[in-house]
Chain A
Amino acid sequence: MRGSKAVLTLLEKEGVDVMFGYPGGSTLTLYDDILTSNIRHVLVRHEQCAAHMADGYARATGKIGVCTSTSGPGSTNLITGVATAYVDSSPMLVLTGQVTTSAIGNQAFQEADSFSLMMPITKHNFRLLAPSEIPEAVRRGVSIANSGRKGPVHIDLPSDVQKGEVTEEEMKREFPEPPPLEDFHEIPEAVKILRAAERPLLLVGGGIVWANASPEVLKLAEMLMAPVTTTIMAKGVIPEDHPLSLGMIGMHGREAARKAFMEADVILAVGTRFSDRSSGAQSELPMSTKLIHIDIDPGEAGKSARTQVRLVGDAKKGLQMIINGLQATKGETAWSLRIKEILKNCTCNINIPSTPVLPQFAIYELNRTLPRDAIVCTEVGQNQMWAAHFFKAHYPRQFITSGGFGTMGFGFPASLGAKVAFPNKAVIDIAGDGSIQMVSHEFATAVSEDLPVVVCVFNNGWLGMVRQWQKLFADRRYSGTELRDNPDFVKLAQAYGADGVHVERSSELQEALKTGIDAGIPYIIDIHMDPEEDVLPMIPPGGNANAIIRGRCTWR
């Protein structure tokens, strides 16, 4: 069969049932073969969004997301989306067309060195120079993307390689996977430390979600009576209304989480890379604090200078080994009572009806109105942090956000990817008026592909997060942050065949949400908000726990 058909056939065998893309001159053959493939193709309106949709699909399902573009500008347009997936370790297969092999290097029409451009933002990449290389690239590509620390894999497909023949023998070739890198020999030491711990705490990151290790986290937490704090990537790993859940840690995290983090005598960190935004507080930890770190990436495990026990491997397996080693379960302890006290001391009253609507109240209304299994995506900025702090996630993969790369314009296309995966779940995108304008053209995709998501625009007329930093740390010298002459977002959505409503008062919000969820078409809720409302609490950059700005949250 010809090369492009071989690509699609191999993808089908790997269980791929959808790909997000945009055609072009160098992918004509591939698109011709899509017509006879079982893979659904979702036509986007900009390649960046194809990558975000594939990423959203991967984050919502745990399965690999596939996106495709043509050569040159098509592949460079993908880059932001691929980098977003790379930083958050999301498994993705990125197929780009390329000019014919004889033209590579000649600055041919729509030629870019996609192989080199993608290299620093992918886990691995292939440039195929012969059709016979296709089976290895696709099969190994899917395997690499899905194994170890997951991530995007790129395959550059010159147009003549797509047209060339792949033999039956080549299609049957096997490509053995190398054994996973693993080092659990210090598990007994970890068990010993945890057994002796008086104030154990679990710090869990996105690695737990990718490893499907939430049940183990919950079991271990309950065995140790240890509170659990998550990074933004792990929201929902344990239900955030569970008595041992401290919520999110970090710059805009819960003060309770930070307090417990500082008071713990043993921290078991799993699937987290100690980013500056989430665990900056580690330098403030008392010297006596013991840190056990499990990570599948040997380059991340033991990253914190405080690490006493470094374990490399799959989080689920590592946690199971610790659970088996511990055996005994603790009852109520002085530490668990202290955690109750900490949680009681840290309060945020966000049920504050007002005009204009308070963003915290909007999240309160979402918590109250959304079905418990709804998927919530966010853009990046204030909207993201309000959602991360106040939205109560109940299960892993429920809260989808660009944590590491912080890509504005991620949430809406990601929500479409999630909706493709779960058409029967309510899917919400929490957006800002800045970020939605980066990707609003995808309403065309949402309408034409029948993907009825609800976009809640937190519209304050500013690039709010930058404005907040200019307000707090640059003496209110606002520069380049006011979004003058925003369009009418409802009319914009309607122009694409979607619908929407403006919300001026808190009292209108619940009905708007219910209408949006039941609309059956993409729906935008344009919520007018006060630009003076900041995302708080916040620990200023470089500040310690004492420098926290609490805002509407209090500590008793």
Chain B
Amino acid sequence: MEVIKIVGSDSPGLFQRVLVELGRRKIEIEKSFMARGKGCIHIIVEADTGKMNGRLLHALMALQDVESAEYLSEDYFCFWETSPSKGSDYIIACGQDKDAGEMRKTAEHCLYKGSD
């Protein structure tokens, strides 16, 4: 199982396009997370990439509006808070020190947790 982080510019359909690209390569997605803000889209995907491991990042990078794609080797936390009255916000944080500032906050509230 791999965890992949994809960051792209905020264009309609980017999340769908990433899922389609993974789907057509027979890659089964276990979990996925998407958040948009400040002109960017962050996508976290947990999937079994099988034999596609080597070239998958290249294929994702070749998609229009994708700026980076990388495998995550560390613990990675996404926190997404939302409220009908207050609006929503999200934090993405990563690092090995789970007790450090933002990491701790996100860990406490995380809705998504990677394979570790």
User: Do B64 and A116 touch (CB < 8 A)?
Assistant: no
User: Do B16 and A299 touch (CB < 8 A)?
Assistant: no
Contact with A along B47-86 (1 / 0, CB 8 A): 0000000110011011110000000000000000000000
Known: A120-B20, A144-B64. A299 touches B59 (CB 8 A): yes
* Interface SS, B side: helix
User: Do A302 and B13 touch (CB < 8 A)?
Assistant: no
List the A side residues contacting B87 at CB < 8 Å: none
The listed residue (A115, A123, A301) touching B13 by CB distance below 8 A is A115
| Interface residue A242 (Cβ < 8 Å from any Cβ of B) | no
Contact with A along B4-23 (1 / 0, CB 8 A): 00000000110011001000
List the B side residues contacting A126 at CB < 8 Å: 12
Q: What is the number of residues of chain B that contact chain A, defined by CB distance less than 8 Å?
A: 14
User: Do A119 and B17 touch (CB < 8 A)?
Assistant: yes
| Interface residue A526 (Cβ < 8 Å from any Cβ of B) | no
| Interface residue A21 (Cβ < 8 Å from any Cβ of B) | no
Question: How distant is the Cα of A148 from the Cα of B61 in the complex, in angstroms?
Answer: 12
Question: How distant is the Cα of A302 from the Cα of B24 in the complex, in angstroms?
Answer: 19
Which residue of chain A is the closest to B23 with respect to CB atoms? A120
Interface-centre pick from B12, B20, B59 (highest chain A CB count, 10 A): B12
Q: Which residues of A (132-149) have their CB < 8 Å from a CB of B?
A: 144, 148-149
Question: How distant is the Cα of A483 from the Cα of B59 in the complex, in angstroms?
Answer: 42
| Interface residue A338 (Cβ < 8 Å from any Cβ of B) | no
Known: A299-B55, A302-B55, A303-B55. A119 touches B61 (CB 8 A): no
User: Do A181 and B61 touch (CB < 8 A)?
Assistant: yes
| Interface residue A125 (Cβ < 8 Å from any Cβ of B) | yes
User: Do B62 and A119 touch (CB < 8 A)?
Assistant: no
User: Do B64 and A298 touch (CB < 8 A)?
Assistant: no
User: Do B62 and A127 touch (CB < 8 A)?
Assistant: no
List the A side residues contacting B63 at CB < 8 Å: 124
Question: How distant is the Cα of A120 from the Cα of B20 in the complex, in angstroms?
Answer: 6
Question: How distant is the Cα of A116 from the Cα of B16 in the complex, in angstroms?
Answer: 8
The listed residue (B12, B58, B64) touching A299 by CB distance below 8 A is B58
Question: How distant is the Cα of A127 from the Cα of B59 in the complex, in angstroms?
Answer: 23
The smallest beta-carbon distance between A113 and chain B, in angstroms, is 11
User: Do A123 and B64 touch (CB < 8 A)?
Assistant: yes
User: Do A298 and B20 touch (CB < 8 A)?
Assistant: no
Q: Which residues of A (287-319) have their CB < 8 Å from a CB of B?
A: 297-299, 301-303
User: Do A120 and B24 touch (CB < 8 A)?
Assistant: yes
List the B side residues contacting A127 at CB < 8 Å: 12-13
Q: Which 4 A-B pairs have the closest CB atoms?
A: A299-B59, A298-B58, A124-B64, A299-B58
- Residue pairs across A and B with Cβ atoms less than 8 A apart, 22 shown, are A115-B13, A116-B16, A119-B13, A119-B17, A119-B20, A120-B24, A123-B64, A124-B63, A124-B64, A126-B12, A127-B13, A148-B62, A149-B62, A298-B55, A298-B58, A298-B59, A298-B61, A299-B58, A301-B58, A302-B54, A302-B55, A303-B55
